[in-house]
C-alpha cells in the first residue's frame, strides 16, 4: 500500500474521512446512518411496489415518481459500503479503481435524478397549463423515451471522468474529504495539470444540473402565471397543492448539490466540517425524505399504501 506522504503514486489507495474529531461517537452515528438507509430503502421500495402493482397508479405523475425512487435507491446502495464501513468498522481505505467506480455511479445518478425532477416539473406544467392535452402529450411511449434519454445523458456525461482521472499521477496526501468518492474531491489529489478536468466538470454541471434547475424555474413561472389567472381561489390553491411535493424534492436536491459544488470549487477557506455535513445532506436526505413527502401529500398514493398494509 502506498504511504500517505509518497512523492508520487498512481493506481494507489485513498483514505476516506468520517467526521474529524468525532471518532469516539462514530459507532453511535453508525446507528443513525443505518436507520436512514433502512428508511430510505424501505420507503422507495414500497413506493415502487405500490405503483407497479396498482394499475390505477400507472399515470405519468406516478411513473415519474417511480423513476425518482429507482434513482434514490441507487444512490443509497452505492454509498452504503463506504459510509457504514467507516462508522461501523473504521474501514477508511478504498482502492483507486473502486473509488473511480463509486464516483462514476454517484455523479451519474445525481445527474439522472436532476433529469427526473425536470421531467416531473414538465408533468406538473402540462397538467396545469394544458390539462386537455395532458393525456395526448404524456403517453407511456413518450414517457419511456424521455426516461431513457435522461438515463443515457447521465451516463454519457460522466463516462469520460474515470478515464480522465486515470491518466493522472497523484502526489498529494491521499486523504479525501468525504466518506465516499467525488470527482471534485479526487482531482485535488492530482499533481498534474487538472485544467481540462476542472473545465469539463464545471461545464457538465452547468449543462445538466444548472440547465435542469433553470428549466424547472421557468416551468414554475409559467405554472404560477397560469394559476394566478384562475378566478377561483379554491381551484388556485388546489392546483398549487399538486406541486408542493415536487417543490420539496427540488429544494432538497438542488440546495445541497449547488452548495457543495460551490464550496469544493471556490470555498478554499470554508470549514471542512461544513463540507462534510453538506455532503451527507446532499446524498442521504433526498432518498430519505422524497418517499415520505410524496406519501403524505398524495392522497391517492397514501390510500394505496395504507390499504396494502391493512390487508
The predicted structure's pLDDT at residue 185:
87
The predicted structure's pLDDT at residue 170:
83
- Tell me what the pLDDT averaged over the chain comes to: 87
What is the DSSP secondary structure assignment for residue 298, as one 8-state letter? -
Residue 135 lies in a domain: yes
Residue 259 lies in a domain: yes
Report the alpha-carbon distance of residue 272 to residue 294 in Å, rounded.
Answer: 33
Residue 4 lies in a domain: no
Q: What is the CATH number of the domain that holds 269?
A: 1.20.1070.10
Number of domains in the chain: 1
* pLDDT tens, residue by residue, 53-63: 988 888 999 99
Residues of the chain with pLDDT > 90: what percent?
52
Report the alpha-carbon distance of residue 253 to residue 296 in Å, rounded.
Answer: 18
Is pLDDT larger for residue 254 or for residue 169? 254
Res. 216 pLDDT band, cuts 50 70 90: very high
Question: Please, which residues have CB within 8 angstroms of residue 111's CB and are 6 or more apart in sequence?
Answer: 153, 154, 157, 158, 204, 208, 209
Is the pLDDT at 135 greater than 50? The verdict is yes
Q: At 14, is the secondary structure helix, strand, or coil?
A: strand
Is the pLDDT at 99 greater than 70? The verdict is yes
Report the alpha-carbon distance of residue 27 to residue 93 in Å, rounded.
Answer: 18
Instruction: Provide the domain limits for residue 116.
Output: 13-310
The predicted structure's pLDDT at residue 192:
80
Residue 170 lies in a domain: yes
Dihedrals phi, psi of 119, to nearest 5 degrees:
-60, -40
The predicted structure's pLDDT at residue 5:
44
Residue 264 lies in a domain: yes
- The closest alpha carbon to 110, from 76, 62, 145, belongs to 76
E strands, the chain, in order: 13-15, 93-95
Residue 7 lies in a domain: no
Is the pLDDT at 83 greater than 70? The verdict is yes
- The closest alpha carbon to 138, from 69, 64, 71, 65, belongs to 64
Instruction: Provide the b/e sequence for 230-248 (b: ≥16 CB within 10 Å).
Output: eeeeeeeeebbebbebbeb
Residue 6 lies in a domain: no
Report the pLDDT averaged over residues 22-32: 86
Res. 295 pLDDT band, cuts 50 70 90: confident
Residue 5 lies in a domain: no
Question: Please, which residues have CB within 8 angstroms of residue 28's CB and are 6 or more apart in sequence?
Answer: none
Amino acid at each position: 500500500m502506498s504511504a500517505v506522504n509518497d512523492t508520487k503514486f498512481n493506481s494507489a489507495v485513498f483514505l476516506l474521512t468520517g467526521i474529524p474529531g468525532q471518532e469516539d461517537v462514530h459507532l453511535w452515528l453508525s446507528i443513525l446512518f443505518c436507520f436512514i438507509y433502512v428508511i430510505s430503502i424501505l420507503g422507495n421500495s414500497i413506493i415502487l411496489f405500490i405503483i407497479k402493482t396498482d394499475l390505477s397508479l400507472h399515470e405519468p405523475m406516478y411513473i415519474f415518481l417511480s423513476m425518482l425512487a429507482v434513482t434514490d435507491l441507487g444512490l443509497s446502495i452505492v454509498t452504503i459500503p463506504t459510509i457504514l464501513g467507516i462508522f461501523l468498522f473504521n474501514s477508511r481505505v478504498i482502492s483507486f479503481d473502486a473509488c473511480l467506480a463509486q464516483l462514476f455511479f454517484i455523479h451519474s445518478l445525481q445527474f439522472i435524478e436532476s433529469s427526473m425532477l425536470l421531467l416531473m416539473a414538465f408533468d406538473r406544467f402540462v397538467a396545469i397549463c394544458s390539462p386537455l392535452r395532458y393525456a395526448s402529450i404524456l403517453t407511456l411511449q413518450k414517457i419511456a423515451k424521455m426516461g431513457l434519454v435522461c438515463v443515457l445523458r447521465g451516463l454519457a456525461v460522466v463516462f469520460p471522468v474515470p478515464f480522465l482521472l486515470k491518466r493522472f499521477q497523484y502526489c498529494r496526501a491521499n486523504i479525501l474529504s468525504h466518506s465516499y468518492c467525488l470527482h471534485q474531491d479526487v482531482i485535488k489529489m492530482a499533481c498534474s495539470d487538472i485544467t481540462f478536468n476542472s473545465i469539463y466538470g464545471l461545464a457538465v454541471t452547468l449543462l445538466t444540473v444548472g440547465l435542469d434547475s433553470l428549466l424547472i424555474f421557468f416551468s414554475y413561472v409559467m405554472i404560477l402565471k397560469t394559476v394566478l389567472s384562475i378566478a377561483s381561489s379554491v381551484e388556485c390553491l388546489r392546483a398549487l397543492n399538486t406541486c408542493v411535493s415536487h417543490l420539496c424534492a427540488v429544494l432538497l436536491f438542488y440546495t445541497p448539490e449547488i452548495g457543495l459544488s460551490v464550496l469544493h470549487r471556490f470555498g478554499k477557506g470554508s470549514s471542512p466540517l461544513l463540507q462534510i455535513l453538506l455532503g451527507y445532506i446532499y446524498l442521504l436526505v433526498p432518498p430519505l425524505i422524497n418517499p415520505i413527502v410524496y406519501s403524505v401529500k398524495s392522497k391517492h398514493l397514501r390510500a394505496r399504501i395504507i390499504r396494502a398494509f391493512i390487508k
